Amino acid sequence: MDSSSLSILGPLKPTSLASSSEEDPPNPSTALLSKTDSTSPKTTTTILFVSLLLITCIALAASGAFAFLFFSSASSFSSNSSQTSLNVESTARPLTKLDRPVVLLISSDGFRFGYQFKTPTPNIGRLIANGTEAQTGLIPVFPTLTFPNHYSIVTGLYPAYHGIVNNYFYDPITGDKFTMSSHEPKWWLGEPLWETVANHGLKAATYFWPGSEVPKGSWNCPVNFCQHYNGSVPFEERVDTILKYFDLPISEIPVFMTLYFEDPDHQGHQVGPDDPEITEAVANIDKMIGRLIQGLEKRGVFEDVTILLVGDHGMVGTCDKKLIFLDDLAPWIEIPKDWVHSYSPLLSIRPPAGVSPSDVVAKMTEALSSGEVENGMRLKVFLKEELPERLHYAENDRIPPIIGLVAEGFTVEQTRSNRKECGGAHGYDNAFFSMRTIFIAHGPQFERGRKVPSFENVQIYNLVTSILKVQGAPNNGTASFPNSIILPSS
């Protein structure tokens, strides 16, 4: 399957944002108490009338001011025109130093939406205040795993179409196994952004990103512009290398760059999403963003560069009491280990030839719903073609025929053990809010202080090609999406 054979899916329906539902303040009422004195009734009546008139005028003025502020605030939450700034920008801001748009795509792995509130993040906050943010987070594709999502971000394709259907999987025809160090082009379908840019005769640079080391089309992972993954490289060195690209002659600066950080995913798996280690990791990511901003400002290009800060998925806490054991299904059906390609949070099973997948699903469902399997109701198994369509997880032979959706925070294992573990995981249904991540965009074509509804990350490919003014490859994103989020050129 290649990009020419990809079917374009219909437009997505972003989650609408509910507007504020404040009530109008009650009309002020003042009780005027008359005093017993020598004032004549006529004078008293006059004073009362003037007082009522003045109070009414003040109340009307206050109500008018409140109404103006309220409706201005409420309108800021409308789906595609939401903003917090009063000065509406109608067109993209002109470049001052660069001669063409440059996009820097940054991934903070496992940055769950909401982490930005765990600790002061002044640098991320600066990007938000002066840019555009998905107000309730970026929606990952299913499965909410690192490699499928990173490659969806740069291809605009769901995993079934770009081929990276899991972090680890088998080719059912050849029996070859894909791992996160597999760089053969046969695995990586679609056209990633660095290839699109290179195909147009432009320069791209990648400082780590799944798939970036794979030669495809005009992209051959050029020396000095394509870093081979090495998780031991300090984050500071990664940022400084990106900054050095802006020291090149303007005509040689790559128009598209990627930058990748493993945190806070690394800590999330070890301690879950609520540990102080997460807070420290988020603070360090903010520090790296500050280092980047400072370096771009020093070179006079910060306002010219489009920065897209995203994550690939969220994180949820897991613990031993939330376990489902496949061996507990034995009275109904035995699931041998060699049938299972992945356990959790995505259970995938490929029975051998001669064993009916539908029979396996029927027997597993009977067992799980019997009430006799511990946490059985926390796992639902499907033939892949019967999965909810919104998951887009069927149209590829690399996806095993049986898929199990695990409840949020639960884990599937083969056999009971005495191992004790509490940590964090991702890979669950992308409908879970805990799987959401961040989308923050800052640059000439993004309105300052704007909030937009959540959207799936397959939309980012078209967004980048639109900013760079290059023709993209067929993908699952919506062609009109960029028009709803970026400012048109003047």
pLDDT at 88: 67
Statement to judge: residues 283 and 146 lie in one domain: yes
> Which amino acids are annotated catalytic?
146
- Among residues 378, 396, 421, the one where a domain terminates is 421
Statement to judge: residues 239 and 151 lie in one domain: yes
Q: What is the CATH number of the domain that holds 274?
A: 3.40.720.10
What is the average pLDDT across 18-27?
A: 33
Does 164 map to a domain? yes
**Is 81 in a helix, a strand, or coil?**
coil
DSSP secondary structure of 387-413: S-GGG---S-TTS-SEEEEEPTT-EEE
What is the average pLDDT across 35-63?
A: 43
pLDDT at 50: 40
Statement to judge: residues 123 and 236 lie in one domain: yes
Q: Confirm if 97 and 304 have CB atoms less than 8 A apart.
A: yes
Percentage of the residues of the chain whose pLDDT score is greater than 90: 79
Does 173 map to a domain? yes
Statement to judge: residues 274 and 328 lie in one domain: no
pLDDT-derived band at 417 (thresholds 50, 70, 90) equals confident
Percentage of the residues of the chain whose pLDDT score is greater than 70: 82
Statement to judge: residues 458 and 372 lie in one domain: no
Does 253 map to a domain? yes
What whole-number distance in Å separates Cα of residue 435 and Cα of residue 312?
A: 9
pLDDT at 136: 98
What is the average pLDDT across 160-170?
A: 98
Greater confidence (11 vs 487) lies with 487
Statement to judge: residues 478 and 444 lie in one domain: yes
pLDDT beyond 80 at 419: no
Statement to judge: residues 294 and 368 lie in one domain: no
Q: Confirm if 146 and 371 have CB atoms less than 8 A apart.
A: no
Statement to judge: residues 354 and 371 lie in one domain: yes
- Among residues 377, 393, 421, the one where a domain terminates is 421
Does 81 map to a domain? no
pLDDT beyond 50 at 449: yes
Statement to judge: residues 342 and 312 lie in one domain: no
What is the average pLDDT across 379-401?
A: 98
Statement to judge: residues 330 and 392 lie in one domain: yes
Statement to judge: residues 239 and 334 lie in one domain: no
Least confident segment among 60-69, 129-138, 210-219, 259-268 = 60-69
Statement to judge: residues 328 and 453 lie in one domain: no
- Among residues 421, 442, 467, the one where a domain terminates is 421
Q: How many domains, in total, are found in the chain?
A: 2
Does 90 map to a domain? no
pLDDT-derived band at 319 (thresholds 50, 70, 90) equals confident
Least confident segment among 82-96, 208-222, 334-348 = 82-96
Q: What are phi and psi of 385, to 5 degrees?
A: -70, -10
Q: What integer best gives the mean pLDDT of the chain?
A: 86
What whole-number distance in Å separates Cα of residue 122 and Cα of residue 120?
A: 6
Does 96 map to a domain? no
pLDDT at 131: 98
DSSP secondary structure of 224-243: TTEEPP-TTS-HHHHHHHHH
What is the average pLDDT across 457-465?
A: 98
Q: What is the CATH number of the domain that holds 331?
A: 3.30.1360.180
pLDDT beyond 60 at 284: yes
What is the average pLDDT across 201-205?
A: 98
What is the average pLDDT across 278-286?
A: 98
pLDDT beyond 50 at 478: yes
pLDDT digits (tens, 9 = 90+) for 183-199: 999 999 999 999 999 99
pLDDT beyond 50 at 49: no
Does 184 map to a domain? yes
Provide the domain limits for residue 112. Answer: 102-316+431-484
How buried is residue 248: exposed, middle or buried, by Cβ count under 10 Å (0-12/13-18/19+)?
Answer: exposed
Does 286 map to a domain? yes
